[in-house]
Amino acid sequence: MSRYDYGGWAPYVPVAARRAKAAKEMDKLRKKGVDIQAVEITGRTIARSFWGKGWCDHLDSFGDYSNRLPRGRTYVRNGSVCHLDIRRGGVEAIVSGSSLYKINITITSLAASNWGTLKQQCTGKIGSLLELLQGRLSDEIMGVVTDRKNGLFPLPGEIDYKCNCPDGASMCKHIAAVIYGIGARLDTRPELLFLLRGVDHEELIDTDTATAEITSGNSRSNRRRTIAGDALEDVFGVELEGPPETPPPRRPTASKAAKKKTARKARPFKPTPRSIAELRKSLGMTRSEFAETTGVSAQSIKNWEEASGPLALQAKSVTALNRLHEQS
């Protein structure tokens, strides 16, 4: 009888075999409607951006983590993190090992006092935020957001994790792989760090100042800011107020039934998390398709639908939603 029969380690399974098995299981979950989000690493570098490297370096700076995290590097590099979903206050993931293991990580929301200090030091400094998107942070903002104790990255004591593998270690290699996977995900979606810490990144942005700086003038520097402003919408899911749009003309009606339908559709669409979700589903659109039609990012659509309070949307978004409402 093997050691595994007594509850020890599972037999070694080659990486290729694990990945093939995991791919089949992920396909089954996709068919059930699960939005599978695998972590794919190109080369040996796990994280390259300010946010991704900052996350990994921050946790590596703590002795307890630096001793255990390296166990997950090989796993995240070889594609074993086959699903990683970052949500408000936590992460759900699936890692391929001898079997498929489920990992849950809970992260404490950023303390209100810390968030208030960050807002005071960052709000209105749009130039610094644009530099962030371009990978060039000012020393001031860099020091604020990466502060070891009071910045945006969590302390080890604010992180709780669980894995259903048989490894009795407090941090198994599957959990370590997921923690590195979070860093890799922040490379392309830095706004998820704010979601993870339970704060709204838009509170750091003075949209009036941003609009004035991005849209004024025709100089070369202002053209660069316009491009950065577009990146701001794509990367952070933030909308910067633009010139008001002219509402589309009413469509002609051909019958009483059509007039009645048009009258109903002509009523202004009231954007709420529920009404937006229902409108998108009535049109049979995914969040990505709906985002493309409304001219915002898929993350913005997700934020709208999952918001817990009233929505304060820009005029162009309301216009787009009214147009879709009339078409539904």
Q: What is the pLDDT of residues 36-92, one digit of tens each?
A: 999 999 888 999 988 899 999 999 999 878 888 888 999 999 899 999 999 999 999
DSSP state of 105: E
Dihedral of alpha carbons 224, 230, 235, 236, sign:
positive
Same domain, 196 and 263: no
Same domain, 173 and 276: no
Is 252 strand, coil or helix? coil
Domain final position from 182, 200, 218: 200
Q: What is the pLDDT of residues 91-124, one digit of tens each?
A: 999 999 888 999 999 999 999 999 999 888 877 6
DSSP state of 6: G
Is 58 strand, coil or helix? helix
Q: Do the domain assignments include residue 212?
A: no
Domain coverage including residue 295: 256-327
* Cβ atoms of residues 273 and 304 within 8 Å: yes
Terminal C-alpha separation, the chain? 64
Is 234 strand, coil or helix? helix
Q: What is the pLDDT of residues 14-31, one digit of tens each?
A: 777 878 888 899 999 999
Q: Do the domain assignments include residue 142?
A: no
pLDDT over 70 (residue 219) = no
Same domain, 161 and 76: yes
The closest alpha carbon to 25, from 13, 38, 12, belongs to 38
Q: How many CA within 13 A on the CB side of residue 130?
A: 22
Q: How many residues does the chain have?
A: 328
Return the pLDDT at 294. Answer: 84
Structure-token match 């270690």, residue found: 169
Same domain, 178 and 303: no
The residues near 197 (Cβ < 8 Å, ≥ 6 apart) are 107, 109, 110, 152, 154
Instruction: Kindly report the pTM of this predicted structure.
Output: 0.60
Bridge partner residues of 96 (DSSP): 100
- CATH number where 321 lies: 1.10.260.40
Number of domains in the chain: 2
Q: Do the domain assignments include residue 30?
A: yes
- From the CB of residue 190, how many other CB atoms can be counted at a distance below 10 Å? 21
What is the percent of the chain where pLDDT is above 70?
Answer: 72
Kindly provide the b/e burial profile for residues 41-73, where b requires at least 16 CB atoms within 10 angstroms of the residue's own CB.
Answer: beeeebbebbbbbbbbebbeeeeebeebbebbb
